[in-house]
Amino acid sequence: MLRFYSHMDNLLENHIDAPIKKAVAGLALLGLNPYMSCCGFSYKDEVVPKTHLKKAYVYLSVSKKQEDAADFSKWAQVVTALSSLSGWHISPLNQSEDELYFDFYANTWNKGHPWEEQNAVHYYETFVLAIFKLNQAIEKMSYLFKDRVILEDGNKKYSKLSSFWQYEPTESWLITPEIWAKIPS
């Protein structure tokens, strides 16, 4: 199997962009099932230098099985409240037989704005501020946190679909509210 990206470290928590890591962990503790994310800008000591920029996002999933209807209702209430508190947006991506997938993302620079180019000195600021607002919203809802969650790397799912998937899946991450509280934001 071709693996273009591989790293010395195989721990998921070290492969999530540092600026958005606390938000991803918080979303997992809220039961929103994040499976991929990007902070939208390059930063010091990033594991994989970005070739894709201009969007801060977290992809979320939820079961669509009939027996999980109550869970879906709670999931929808939580993500709607987070969107309202943070200014982040939710849009459907696609679905599988068992799951629905969503793009949870921040509004950043408008096209034509002088700072929308990644080499602009202020480029990263709107992303940092959007992630900060998301972390504040998660903190306000932290009373809903689960005691612990195991976050799976979304690359595991995709690497099973195609031998051409090029990002090596990493080890799962056990997250507790105590771990979340220690993650820098």
Phi, psi (degrees; rounded to nearest 5) at 16: -85, 135
Fold of the domain spanning 12-182: SSo0622-like fold (3.30.1960)
Map out the domains of the chain as residue ranges: 12-182
Q: How far, in Å, CA of 108 to CA of 38, rounded?
A: 13
pTM of the model: 0.88
Once rounded to an integer, what is the mean pLDDT over residues 82-108? 91
CB atoms within 10 A of CB 39: 27
pLDDT tens digit sequence for 38-72 = 998 888 888 777 766 678 999 999 987 766 778 88
Q: How far, in Å, CA of 131 to CA of 162, rounded?
A: 32
